[in-house]
Amino acid sequence: MTKGLILKLNCPDQQGIVAKIANYVAGHAGNLIEFAQFSDSLGGKFFARLEIDTQALDVEIHDFIEGFGTLGRSLRADWHFRALPYRMKTAVLVTKTDHCLNEILWRAQMGELPVEITSIIGNRDFCKDLSERYRIPFHLIEMDGAERENGFRQIKQILDRENVELAVLARFMQILPDWFCDAYHGRLINIHHSFLPAFIGANPYRQAYERGVKLIGATCHYVTNELDAGPIIEQEVERVQHFHSPQDLARLGRNCERTALAKGIRYHVHDRTIIDGNRAIVFPD
């Protein structure tokens, strides 16, 4: 991967933003590989994601980043730089099913996701064999009944000790406490096995069957204090028929879950998402 920087930025929409940013990059002999932008006319906001080749910069990268502050402040912007190449430290939380975990591990092994999976954390041991196959540490955390709060405290200790930048709930069937969601705001991704906002909570395939839906889906979203209501990153759907049982819906839905989660993780780790209130702005690759 070419040595460079990713810049994410959002600010009030105004004239000349693109030109000012492009001129700053060109002024230091940087080369714009990508400049994806979105002007939200309803909200009056501007969002952008840039990839910059820094091989020919006329200043040190640190000075380039620091120098951007003058422009960023003049735009009243929030911005973030990430140096390339990199691998994002990621932990995966699981319960029983392993199809989503399998997808993550396979894509990481293939080099499609720039992640370093530091550990797999489960409140059941169903995925322990898979973690051992990939030689990734597995932590079994007791969370039943009165142990639930202490279990989340243990998980936080693991994430903090491993300097985890992203935690993925790969069918982790636990409701997270508010303090945990707050501690990792914008760094928790969940896969929900329905096309949100329909059928939140437990047993969505049974709910979908009882409503006689013609489409089922899966939603990859950021986790917030409100159950299954965080900013949506990616969704996938599958057409179903009246003769499909709840088990058939679950079988078909697993494909949606795997694809939506893989795409959502990819967008996040490539800094292609910007959280804007209750929604996520996504710049697909």
Pair (18, 157) in one structural domain:
no
Q: What single-letter amino acid sits at 108? A: A
228 and 204 Cβ atoms separated by less than 8 Å? no
pLDDT at position 249: 82
Q: Which residue, among 106, 101, 83, 96, has the nearest Cα to 2 in the 3D structure? A: 83
Q: Tell me, yes or no, whether 100 and 198 share the same domain.
A: yes
Confidence class for position 40, pLDDT limits 50, 70, 90: very high
Statement to judge: residues 95 and 205 lie in one domain: yes
Note the pLDDT of residue 201: 67
Predicted confidence band of residue 260 (pLDDT cuts 50, 70, 90): very high
If asked whether residues 125 and 184 sit together in one domain, one would say yes
The model's pLDDT over 232-249, given as tens digits with 9 standing for 90+, comes to 999 999 898 888 888 888
The yes-or-no verdict on residue 1 having pLDDT over 70 is no
- Amino acid (one-letter) located at 114: P
- Name the average pLDDT for the chain: 93
Tell whether 116 and 194 lie within a shared domain: yes
* Whole-number Å distance between alpha carbons of 137 and 118: 7
pLDDT band at 199 (very low <50, low <70, confident <90, very high): low
Percent of the residues in the chain that have a pLDDT greater than 90, as a whole number: 82
Domain termination site, one of 36, 66, 84: 84
16 and 136 in one domain?
no
Q: Which domain holds residue 127?
A: 88-282
- Write down the pLDDT at residue 197: 61
pLDDT for residue 153 is more than 80: yes
- How far is residue 43's CA from residue 12's CA, in Å, rounded to a whole number? 9
pLDDT at 250: 84
pLDDT at res. 209:
78
Residue 196's pLDDT is 61
What is the reported pLDDT for 243? 87
| In the block, residue with structure tokens 């329905």 | 194
User: Is the domain of 99 the same as that of 70?
Assistant: no
Asked if residue 237 and residue 102 are part of one domain, the reply reads yes
CATH at residue 48: 3.30.70.260
pTM of the model: 0.92
pLDDT in tens, 157-195: 999 999 999 999 999 999 999 999 999 999 999 998 776
Number of domains in the chain: 2
pLDDT at residue 2 in the model: 64
Whether residues 128 and 260 share a domain: the answer is yes
- Please report, as a single letter, which amino acid is at residue 133: R
Q: Model confidence over 75-110: pLDDT tens digits? A: 999 999 999 999 999 999 999 999 999 999 999 999
Is 125 a residue of the active site?
A: no
Q: Over the Cα atoms of the chain, what is R_g?
A: 21
Find all residues with CB under 8 Å of 84, minimum gap 6, and list them: 1, 2, 3, 4, 5, 6, 51
Give yes or no for residue 123 having a pLDDT over 70.
Answer: yes
pLDDT band at 214 (very low <50, low <70, confident <90, very high): confident
Say if residue 93 is in the same domain as residue 60. no
The answer on 266 and 187 residing in a single domain is yes
pLDDT in tens, 59-74: 999 999 999 999 999 9
CATH number of the domain within which 101 lies:
3.40.50.170
**Residue that terminates a domain, selected from 84, 109, 139:** 84
**From the candidates 129, 160, 178, 228, which is the catalytic residue?**
228
User: Does a cis peptide bond (omega within 30 degrees of 0) precede residue 197?
Assistant: yes
Same domain, residue pair 97 and 45: no
Tokens of 284: 């697909």
Q: Which of these three, 84, 109, 135, is where a domain ends?
A: 84
**Per mean pLDDT, which range of 45-54, 180-189, 213-222 is the poorest?**
213-222
